[in-house]
Amino acid sequence: MAEAHQAVAFQFTVTPEGIDLQLSHQALTEIYLSGLRSWKKKLIRLKNGVITGVYPASPSSWLFVVIAILATMYMRSDPSMGLIAKIQEHLPTLRCLQSLRIFTLLWFSLIFTMRMCLKQLLSYHRWMFEQRGKMSNTTKVWALVRIFSGRQPLLYSYQGSLPNQPVPAVKDTVKRYLESVRPLMTPDEFERMTSLATQFESSLGNRLQWYLKLKALWASNYVSDWWEEYIYLRGRSPIMVNSNYYGMDFLYVTPTPIQAARAGNTLHAFLMYRRKLNREELKPVSSTTGTVIPLCAAQCERMFNTTRTPGEETDTVQHWQDSDYVAVYHRGRYFRLRMYSSSRPLSPREIESQLQRILDDPSPPSPGEEKLGALTAGDRIPWAKARKEYFSLGVNKRSLDCIEKAAFFVTLDDDEQGMMGEDPAASLDRYAKSLLHGKCYDRWFDKSFSVVIYKNGKIGLNAEHSWADAPVVAHLWEYVLATDSFQLGYNEEGHCKGEVDASLPRPQRLSWDITPECQEQISQSLAVAQALADDVDFHVFSFRDFGKGMIKKCRISPDAYIQLALQLAYYRDRGMFCLTYEASMTRLFREGRTETVRSCSNESCAFIKALEGGEVGKVCRRLLRQASEKHQNLYKHAMTGAGIDRHLFCLYVVSKYLGVDSPFLKEVLSEPWHLSTSQTPVQQVELFDMVNHPEYVSCGGGFGPVADDGYGVSYTIMGENMMNFHISCKHSCPQTSSHKYGGQIRQALRDMLQLLCPDQREPSRTDQSQTKKDL
């Protein structure tokens, strides 16, 4: 193959006349440029490391110190109040060098002091709990965080100043837990659980807490490493559906119907984001838009060049510093596509041309190659054994390494997806299922993320969960969608803009030697994955009757409003309350990830019972507002490290390390989450103009059901007048139906608004008919 010859820098043959050495000028040039690019990246990392290391000061401030030293020496003054003179007695060197050393030490001391002050300021979270317009004196002092935040921070500038996640007191966690389960238990069940909790708090709890506090003093975060290992990496069931999640394209717009062109812009946008990430040019994400309260950016470090590798007992996450290519799958074949030429990234038009070569390639897949990806979709232990036995040597190892070390994975899908046809609602459901599991073999579910490019130009993304949570991937996805449409664009024919370098080598086809035994294992993994995928019941819909704008006019938190609607819908659907999981982030702390908000509270249950019991509107409105305030309080506690579930989880891990059993912890961690919910907020609102271009709105993303007899609900609040919902459950459970529950959610949202605003107009006939159809 031509590309194989180009990859060889030199060849030699031994002849009777001696050694015949042949050099490839093109290959040597590529090696030189690749090395040059690598050294440039190392220098950028070094420079950014220095800038981040002295933040919130700047390296140039050291020059100010030097000038100050020279000025004081010229004026014969001693700002150190005799300290320099005292040290001079013991340092037999020049006065200038001594002063320089002292003031350099002073500079580092000031940096350390500023960083500690910033860390203390960022540890203060009471500002969240104060009413708007009523700021305490302590919070006014806390506003000094703006002074210590420095100017133009890099992505990781705040990492060293972020506080460690605090360990709550055992008695506080136990108290909050008992309060959360009170509405879900009978009096006898609650009395029994209270007895177990009291016994745990007075005996084993304090012992486990001591070890946990010791870890909190030593580690950056006492939760995150155990959470990643025991919740994600040690799971032996398929990560497809059970762990991975997805993101969708624009709902109403497809910038171009040409598959290769859409892929060209999309892949180039990913490279642009990675360049910003490597240079740390991305702004540190704030907890609230427009504030200076930073969130931890540690999860961004493993966004690209990362894969999850299977093990028999536990998986591992492998990350490489750099990768100049992507792995591409099309019609059962795998390709290696270089994304750089002469040390520069390929233009969108060049990427389009290269991908069109793959689309036009008529070669069939080799035996076992087409469905090879099913190994990543099935159970983890068979995949670990197959990887060790069939992919540890030779051509299979080289090709597998190529996929795992790629920047990310790309699937050129032959299907057409998106909201289309005579039944747009059903097409959205198919779109969601395609992104969640596809054909169970045409995605590489172990990669940090896989990009899916459909035949009609629609795109999507499937992300592995262990390395990062959804908001981190959503930030990347927002940038890619906006850059594709508003920055790169297309020409009149729908192709990418720019010219093509005709000398680019063709994408390299990966080779495999899949034995019949390995093909049998692939078939078994595919059967497991296919059964799981077929069982998923999915429903996606956009709610356009009203949005957060109307909800805020009612002086209710939009997130609390939606959570109460989800619980009201579940109560109407199943006739009971259930343990409800809402994901909250703890990225206010160093290496923080998530915490659970137990949304089903005494207040929410009281409101729902009153509404369904026919209480007068005044009473229901009062209970609704109380439930909303309670939910906001629970969410704030979770964000600030005072949640319930991560603390209990870590105590349980310590008990296992110590070899002791706790009936209380065992029962708590075995409770099923029948309703698992998550909001994915839009983080870069400045990238989208929802007023002038309302059609450029994404449908968000979703995930599979957590419990076999429960629901998974992901929702995104888009602009002021739209909310998107992704609902999943399982066909095998006769008590659940995604469409029926979706209809209940629509009705609950309307009923609650009618309660708060009795004069609100009725929804359109189309929306009413859709709700009746689902119900």
Q: Catalytic residues, which ones? A: 465
Report the distance separating Cα 575 and Cα 188, nearest Å. Answer: 21
Tokens 């997805």 correspond to 246
**How do beta strands 536-543 and 340-341 pair?**
unpaired
* Closest residue by Cα to residue 257 from 417, 427, 31: 417
Contact 426, 460 (CB under 8 A): no
Which of 402, 429, 409, 408 has the alpha carbon at shortest distance from 418?
A: 429
Q: Rg of the Cα trace of the chain?
A: 29
Tell me phi and psi for residue 378, to 5 degrees: -90, -165
> Alpha-carbon distance 323 to 315, whole Å?
22
DSSP state, residue 182:
G
Query: Parallel, antiparallel, or unpaired: how do β-strands 340-341 and 306-309 relate?
Result: unpaired
Residue 445 near residue 375 (C-beta atoms within 8 A): no
Task: Name the token pair of 653.
Answer: 């891990």
Contact 375, 442 (CB under 8 A): no
Q: How far is 545 from 430, CA to CA, in rounded Å?
A: 24
- Beta partners for residue 676, in sequence order: 581, 712
Distance CA(592)–CA(487), nearest Å, equals 33
Measured CA to CA, the distance from residue 354 to residue 54 in angstroms comes to 44
Exposed/middle/buried for residue 372 (C-beta within 10 Å: 0-12, 13-18, 19+) = buried
CA distances 120 to 283, 359, 590, Å, are: 22, 56, 13
Helices 765-774 + 738-756 axis angle, to 10:
130
- For 511, other C-beta atoms within 10 Å of its C-beta total 14
Tokens (6 digits) for 429 = 């459901």
Q: Largest Cα–Cα distance in the chain?
A: 104
